[in-house]
Amino acid sequence: MRQKVVLVTGANGEIGHGLIRYLAENTEANIVALDVVPLDKSLRDLCSSYIVGDILDQMLLGRLVVEHEIATIFHLASILSTKAEYNPETAHRINVEGTLNLLRLAVEQSQWQGTPVKFIYPSSIAAFGIPTLAEKMKAGPAKEDEWHHPTTMYGCNKLYCENLGHYYGAFYRQLAADCGTAETIDFRSIRFPGLISAETIPTGGTSDYGPEMLHAAAQGEPYACFVRPDTKIPFMVMPDAIKALVRLADAPRERISQIVYNVTSFSLSAQDIHDIVMKAFPEAQIDFEVDACRQKIVDTWPEEIDDSAARRDWDWQPDYDCDRAFNEYLIPAIRSRYQKVEMK
């Protein structure tokens, strides 16, 4: 008998680390991890199997379904907003064609199993695009259906893949003879703000100045923040991001009233983060050296987002406000992490 599994793509990434640990510690799930690089050693024992491979490799995905019955997919693999601008077409292939491959795999699996495969997709504040800074300042909390003109390849990819998920969940091959009877997928997506983890440092994102400032300070390394001090966007710590993914995946289907949900915890300016970090690590050396191009990207992202739909439909509530996030999670965990490294 094939084993029923939860597939996690992009398993080695920041969210992958937190999610795999959470699922292993709190559920009975058999986790199959997929990533282009070998899975972090600390995660290997937590998974039933881990596969090194590319989501663009159709043969690999074909083999995956021969061996496993996939009940849920957390499709985390993605090229983030800064990295995507260096090679937008490659980013498009990974972010869109990769997602398309997994959506098709999920539909086929749903049809074989006669029950919808759950497809959980992290989207992003990058899906928003506010045309001018003046509009950003007076916009107020952005709702899911507002400001749909992202200016990055990553943002375009995320917005489009949310729509692809909607299509695969409700309209896939809508003119086929078996339309309406064939099983399809249960697609659910979350628009995350900038994420900050104590365990990992992000790569290739444009909200990275937040976590980078903190991790650099804790390691005693100088840091030049690449956005203006007044730049404000929403952030969330990793435990809350994992909570949101798991809560959304577990929510009864009848309570899900939309394809994409905003979630948020707290909004901070780069100056706010600087001040919090300096208080915790007074020796830190943090400057502001604005990168005009990356600044332009962050200037299109909302200062705040409205997550009332998630609160209403699946009782979303973050565990960490700003104070708790830094004082009870980030600062102590990061401090002990780098102290341990020094002692080694």
Which residues contact ligand SER (rule: CB under 6 A)?
80-81, 124-126, 154, 192, 194, 205-207
Alpha carbons 321 and 236: distance in angstroms, whole number: 9
Provide the H-helix boundaries in the chain: 14-26, 41-44, 58-67, 81-86, 88-92, 98-113, 133-138, 153-170, 209-218, 238-250, 270-280, 292-298, 308-314, 322-324, 331-343
Closest to ligand SER by CB, 154 vs 261, is: 154
Q: Which is nearer to ligand SER, 101 or 157 (CB)?
A: 157
Distance CA(225)–CA(294), nearest Å, equals: 11
Least distance between ligand SER and beta carbon 154 (Å): 6
Amino acid at 343: M
Question: Nearer Cβ to ligand SER, position 15 or 276?
Answer: 15
Q: Indicate the Cα dihedral angle 320, 154, 82, 133, nearest 10°.
A: -70
Going by the DSSP 8-state scheme, the letter that residue 46 receives in this structure is T
Residue nearest to ligand SER (CB): 205
Q: How far is the CB of 76 from ligand SER (least distance, A)?
A: 12
| Cβ(15)–Cβ(76) below 8 Å | yes
Minimal distance in Å, beta carbon 45 to ligand SER? 29
Tokens of 194: 């900038």
Would you say 298 and 270 are in contact if contact means Cβ atoms under 8 Å apart? no
What is the token pair recorded at 10? 């992009």
Q: Which residues pair with 224 in a beta bridge?
A: 287
Beta carbon nearer to ligand SER, 196 or 331: 196
Residue 68 or 75: which CB sits closer to ligand SER? 75
* Identity of the residue, 109 or 264, whose beta carbon is nearer to ligand SER in the bound complex: 264
Smallest distance, Å, CB 293 to ligand SER? 14
Residue 111 beta carbon to ligand SER: minimum distance, rounded to whole angstroms = 32
Closer to ligand SER at the Cβ: 85 or 186?
85
126 or 268, CB closer to ligand SER? 126
Q: At what angle do helices 270-280 and 209-218 cross, to 10 degrees?
A: 10
Closest-CA residue to 285 (of 200, 235, 220, 236): 220
Q: How far is the CB of 118 from ligand SER (least distance, A)?
A: 22
Task: Give least dist CB 146 to ligand SER, A.
Answer: 17
**Minimum CB distance to ligand SER, residue 14 (Å):** 9
β-pairing verdict for 31-35 and 49-52: parallel
Helix (H) or strand (E) holding 269: strand 266-269
